[in-house]
Amino acid sequence: MPRRARMHSNSGYYHIVSRGIGKQILFECTEDYVKLLDTLKKCAAEENVRVIAYCLMENHFHLLLHTDSGLDRIMKRIAIRYAYYYNTKYERSGHLFQDRYKSEPINDERYLLAVVRYIHNNPQKAGICPREEYPWSSWQEYMGEANLISKDPIMDIMGSKENFESFSESNEKVECLEISGKRCMPDNTAKEIIQKVLHLNSGTMIQAMNREERDAALRKLKDNGLSIRQIERLTGINRGVVQRA
């Protein structure tokens, strides 16, 4: 069956979500977050795309972009460049991102503002920290100097930083494109267990083991309280393999 064509935005604004294949972790350390943002900045300049907002979570990221026709091209550039960097660094191979990123058009001002608020509130919603403490979203750029984003379209609507902050506090419920999934154990705790029990810097390193070693490592992680979904996400190993180990 052919893929459904993406819906076109009359305004040029799109909300995009891209996640790791099998919910795999995309960012293991600060360097990885910085690399994705640098890649986004360069690709946006190459495709004449404006970045309006962003938030990088551990296994996915949200973008709000404005473009006339470069959406597929910029997302392909980002995926290829970041996957090459990640696979080289962590000695893995194969696809890093889920086959097709999700996108939705934004065709009215009210929803545009709601998406910006939703993107910035992602860390808070996930129970990580208040949005103003999260370092990997565009919130800090809205509060201070813009480096990557074009914030004028939003600030022109809001009128002032104070209005923007007040709007961001609103509890108005608006359904936005998202990645769902509950966690049984904080991923930071799970990463510490991987390092302590398996003596590995990253769960994705299990992929390079032979089958017997891999299954033994997966069993240890399950025995130490990691859920199957969490192991899948942190290691990039198929859920069925994790279940059978």
> Is 234's pLDDT higher than 80?
yes
Flag whether 174 is in a domain.
no
Q: Is pLDDT above 90 for 177?
A: no
180 located within any domain = no
Q: Once rounded to an integer, what is the mean pLDDT over residues 180-202?
A: 78
Hey, what's the torsion of the CAs at 24, 60, 79, 71, to 10 degrees? 150
| pLDDT bracket for residue 198 (50, 70, 90) | very high
Which CATH number fits the domain that encloses residue 162?
3.30.70.1290
For the ranges 19-23, 50-54, 118-122, 183-187, which has the lowest average pLDDT? 183-187
38 in a structural domain: yes
Residue at 89 is within a domain: yes
Tell me if 175 is assigned to some domain.
no
Pair 140, 203 in one domain: no
Give pLDDT, residue 210. Answer: 94
- Residue 8 maps to a domain: no
CB 236 within 8 A of CB 213: no
Distance of alpha carbon 59 from alpha carbon 89, whole angstroms = 17
Q: Which residue has the tokens 């074009």?
A: 150
124, 191: one domain: no
Share in percent of the chain as helix, strand, coil (round to 5): 50, 10, 40
Residue 233 has pLDDT above 50, yes or no: yes
**pLDDT at 183 (0 to 100):** 42
**pLDDT over threshold 50, residue 180:** no
pLDDT grade for 178, boundaries at 50, 70 and 90: low
Cα separation, 145 vs 128, in Å, equals: 24
Partnered with residue 137 across adjacent β-strands are 55
Between 225 and 130, where is the model more confident? 130
Same domain? For 158 and 222 the reply is no
Average pLDDT value for the chain = 89
Residue 3 lies in a domain: no
Answer for the pair 86, 32: CB distance below 8 angstroms, yes or no: yes
Distances (CA, A) of 106 to 7, 41, 115: 10, 22, 9
Q: Which domain holds residue 49?
A: 13-168
Residue among 126, 173, 178, 148 at smallest CA distance from 43 = 148
Q: What integer pLDDT is reported at residue 181 of this predicted model?
A: 42
**232 within a domain of the structure (yes/no):** yes
Same structural domain, 146 and 221: no
Question: Which residue shows structure tokens 């893929």?
Answer: 3
pLDDT, one tens digit per residue, over 77-118 is 999 999 999 999 998 888 899 878 999 999 889 899 999 999
Look at the alpha carbons of 182, 37, 52, 141 in this order and tell me if their dihedral is positive or negative. positive
Number of domains in the chain: 2
**Which pTM value belongs to this model?**
0.73
